[in-house]
Structure 1
Amino acid sequence: MVKLLVFLGNPGKAYARTRHNIGWMVAEHLYPNQSWSEKFHGLVSTALTLKLLKPTTYMNESGRSVRACMDFYGYSAEEILVIHDDLELPYGTLRLQKGGGLGGHNGLKSIKAHAQSDQFSRLRIGIGRPVHGSVASFVLERFTSDEEISLPLVINLAEKMLTDYYSSLPVTNTLV
């Protein structure tokens, strides 16, 4: 059973609406009035029986934050669900899975290394691959204007998938 939701992103206004921050966007949608405290190299909160974590270590060091939280609460990797961007899926495609490949995602690599396991669940939110240019630049760019239009639908789909899969997941702003 999932006890910790980890929303991946980067801190700071410069990253707020970038592709790499889709995890933080989902957190803000699910928990818009949530009070967050600085702890575990991140922002942490509680929603009923779930702990919520937004690492502030920057993406490539997310595992440090996750490990600190795991150690404090005694969680195993199997009790974690990570919400993150995914280059390997087309924009707007979402996939919920446990374990599996990391697709070159440095945040997931860091979590695997620090958790010493890849058996955490993840909600992969497709951002597509760049047609031109580097992947590093692409993930740190804002969504295109067309993508921005459909972004609320993608975030709503993430919410639906999470609530359907984990019926006990406490959320707010559920749209019918």
Structure 2
Amino acid sequence: MKLIVGLGNPGERYRFSRHNFGFIVVDILADEWRIPLNQQGYFSLFGRGIFKGVELFLVKPMTYMNNSGVALKGWFEFILPSVEDVLVIHDDLDLPFGDVRLKKDGGHGGHRGLISIIEVTGTKNFSRLRIGTGRPQGRERDREAIIEWLLRPLSQDELLQLDKSFEKAKNCIEEFILYGIEKAMSNCNKKA
């Protein structure tokens, strides 16, 4: 069984923001794989289904990004036998806009959602799919500019630019589910 978790913030105002890349990808997967996200539990909206013979959960924590660990704790303790079966999808300031990268485990890189997950669950040994947001030009280190950058709605042009990124993310997640993180990383992290 696999747990595919998209990080984001609930609410219409955040729906198409950079900080909600994880939610957007989970919504795409739910639609394409016909897994309705219509169940609630562990402070999450989720759906349970099967992809090519593999049972899985698609999960969107409803705790807001900075408290994602509260939602994941229940999933880790009661649903999954191994964190190796977990993939967390999140935005990443340090990747160029639209870049998609898989990572086996590691630190939080300053990402508040990952900080919460690591602190609350006590582990950093879960895989991540990172989608680049880039940084606000000319204000790359300005905290308030970064927050505004991550939370403001994407333009129609930006959403169109992300179509290929979200398709690549979907393909990488499918490889993770079917073949595991090592093979998925080998295929998905290649330079185009």
TM-score range, shorter chain: 0.7 to 0.9
Distance in 1 (alpha carbons) for counterparts of 2:81 and 2:72: 10
Cα contact 1:63–1:110 (8 A) shared by 2: yes
Post-superposition offset of 1:102? 1.6
1:57 alignment partner in structure 2:
63
Q: Say if 2:75 is the partner of 1:87.
A: no
Q: CA RMSD in A?
A: 1.8
1:16-63 superposed Cα distances (whole Å, 9 cap, x missing partner): 001111111111111114142111011122122112211000000000
Match of 2:19 in 1: 20
Tell me the SS of whatever aligns to 1:166: helix
For structure 2, the residue ranges without an aligned partner over 5 or more in a row are: 181-192
Give distance in 2, aligned partners of 1:23 and 1:102. Answer: 15
Name the stretch that deviates more: 34-43 or 83-92. 34-43
Q: Does 1:142 align with 2:153?
A: yes
SS in 2 for 1:159: helix
1:45 maps to a residue whose letter is G
| Whole-Å separation in 2 of the counterparts to 1:104 and 1:30 | 27
TM-score (norm 1): 0.88
Aligned to 2:44: 42
CA distance in 1, matches of 2:174, 2:136: 31
Between the two proteins, the alignment pairs up a number of residues equal to 168
Answer with 122-131 or 140-149: which moved more: 140-149
Give 1:77 shift: 2.8
Among candidates 96, 108, 132, match of residue 102 of structure 1: 108
TM-score between both structures, scaled by the size of structure 2 = 0.81
* Residue 7 (str. 1) matches residue 9 (str. 2): no
* Secondary structure class of the residue paired with 1:137: helix
2:47 and 2:57 in contact (8 A); partners too: yes
Deviates more, 1:44-53 or 1:18-27: 44-53
- Flag structure 1 segments of 5+ consecutive residues without an equivalent: 170-176
1:165, distance to aligned residue in structure 2 (A)? 3.4
Higher helix proportion (structure 1 or 2): 2
The structure whose RCO (Cα within 8 Å, separation 6+) is larger is 1
